Structure 1
Amino acid sequence: MKDVTNAMRAHILTAAVPYIKQYTDQYVVVKYGGNAMIDEELKKSVMKDLMLLQLVGVKVVLVHGGGPAINSTLDAMKIESRFANGLRVTDEATMDVVQMVLAGKVNKGLVADLTDLGGKAVGLCGVDGNMIQVHKQNDELGYVGSIDTIDTSIIDDVISRGYIPVISSIGMGADGKTYNINADTVAAKIAGALKAETMVAMTNIDGVLRDVHDPSSLISKITMAEADQLKAEGIIAGGMIPKVDCCLEAIKSGAQKVFIINGEIPHAILIELLTDEGLGTMFVK
């Protein structure tokens, strides 16, 4: 039995070699969110995955949001949370909280998690090095930004020194103000700007299902043209549309491929990137 177990371990490790070669010295941008940010065991699993990828030579970039943490802080401060078309209406008081929570508590917490496991990480937001330049999306949403440019030089600098950049979704306007940005959009634009080999979008769903009630109907690979067709057929619908649009935006901007995976599966990143099976939906040009 022991020999069988050892043979299985050896098979898993050798099967990963071609994938490791594919990703070595390439950028992999991970958009981190959902329950995997809340559940401590899942969080540890994600951090270990990122560290392993870095150890085998992958240029790992972690992008995160933090909606639940923002909501609970706003509630504690008796500031009302308001949303319009799924985006947080962000007045000046709310933006102060968003910046405090995202660039502070959540960001530094993730850096601490990586450091605690023996990794090296640096916390950043879009204001650092003027990395993410934005303009106001509209007056109704307040301090919510649309991305104009991404300057990746600080990301490269951090990676070249052996650190994983951990980036929160805040940008800088030409008016000197900070702006809240959708984290999926930030990850997509950064992946595009870096010409990343892969972007991984962690969600609480398995990927794109042909039938939302049938987990076995997972579509494992979708081209950009097929994505448009699936939208027209109503298979990609509702809250899945903005997630898929961000995946397509990453590819349009320069990323090679994008995965949507279920972050509630332990070590989902490694399973998707370094095994034959995979477990989510891959988007390609």
Structure 2
Amino acid sequence: MPGLPIVVKIGGSTLGSHDTSLKDLVTLQKEGVDVVVVHGGGNVISQWMQRQGLPPRFVNGLRVTDAPSLEIVVAVLTGLINKELVSQVHGLGGRAIGISGIDGGLLEAHVADPELGYVGEISQVDSRPLKAILDTGYIPVVAPLAMQGHDGSDHSGGALNINGDTVAGELAHALDAARLIFLTDVGGIMDAGGRVIPRLDRRRAGLLSRSGVIQGGMIPKLAACLRALERSPTADIIDGRRPGALLECVRGVASGTTIIGEAALGSLSGNPPDSAR
């Protein structure tokens, strides 16, 4: 691989008529940048659930997934959204391979909260399948599912629904990613007055996470950024609906919210991070 990969989380709500996210991904690939893509699909899943008379429910931004819902989640994520994204990447001249976290044993998880049903908390990441795909010149496009660990339960070895933001953070952490980028349908992290916060360090981001200002779907995004920043220098939450947003972010054009890790802060200030002193 030419360098440490970038992990990009694409939310389903950002893919629209003016969106250039997939075109930007192909451009980065042609420039020799390794990119791992994690996609969501919450809106499409909710639509299919409603068609089946299953009202979607959420707790702290996480989808409650019972057995009938899990069948829809797996079918939509792996059979519809994942393959559509891969097809579009190839149509734009790129090369991609679609997988889920189950394939190759990429993600193993356990049920952390019975209230959420078949929703997993990741316990193990095996990044070798992603590295193998990257080494052959393809973009891995990952659907956020995991295999439940063999714990002796009735669902042992079965599929678990994982929040896509969480998957992106864990993959960035496991890959020592150069950066983690969230393409969302908002301008970035907002303060209490509704204004975008352009820059945060990891400590301030943690304080903000505990303050109650962050709500809904932004909660797992910020948590994923903090997880990635344990090993990655930066994480970004930007408005992916803007044309060229991903390319601008990778090339250093400020937009949205950038969260700076300790290593990056040390290099900017000319001082090593605390852990290196």
CA distance in 2, matches of 1:232, 1:94: 31
Q: 2:179 aligns with which of 198, 218, 239?
A: 198
3-state SS in 1 of match to 2:215: coil
Instruction: Report what 1:269 is aligned to.
Output: 246
Q: Which segments of structure 1 move beyond 6 Å, counting only runs of 4 or more?
A: none
CA distance in 2, matches of 1:104, 1:231: 34
- Are 1:63 and 2:45 matched, yes or no? no
Instruction: Report what 1:278 is aligned to.
Output: 254
TM-score (ref. length: structure 2): 0.86
The Cα offsets for residues 90-137 of structure 1, whole Å up to 9 and x where unpaired, read as 111111110000011000000011011111110000110010000012
TM-score (ref. length: structure 1): 0.84
Instruction: Report what 2:49 is aligned to.
Output: 74
Quote how far apart the aligned CAs of 1:152 are.
0.7
Instruction: Report what 1:107 is aligned to.
Output: 82
Segment of structure 1 superposing worse, 71-80 or 175-184: 71-80
Structure 1 unmatched runs, 5+: 1-22
Q: Is the 8 A contact 1:35 1:263 kept in 2?
A: no
Aligned-residue sequence identity (percent) comes to: 37
Q: Is the 8 A contact 1:159 1:165 kept in 2?
A: yes
Q: Is the 8 A contact 2:61 2:219 kept in 1?
A: no
Go from structure 1 to structure 2 and tell me whether the alpha carbon gap of 1:24 and 1:284 turns closer, same or farther (over 3 Å shift): farther
Aligned residues: 254
CA distance in 1, matches of 2:209, 2:64: 27
Go from structure 1 to structure 2 and tell me whether the alpha carbon gap of 1:192 and 1:123 turns closer, same or farther (over 3 Å shift): same
CA distance in 1, matches of 2:211, 2:66: 38
Q: Is the 8 A contact 1:34 1:202 kept in 2?
A: no
Answer with 1 or 2: which has the greater Rg: 1
3-state SS in 1 of match to 2:254: coil
Instruction: Report what 2:198 is aligned to.
Output: 220
Segment of structure 1 superposing worse, 130-139 or 181-190: 130-139
CA distance in 2, matches of 1:154, 1:266: 31
3-state SS in 2 of match to 1:81: coil
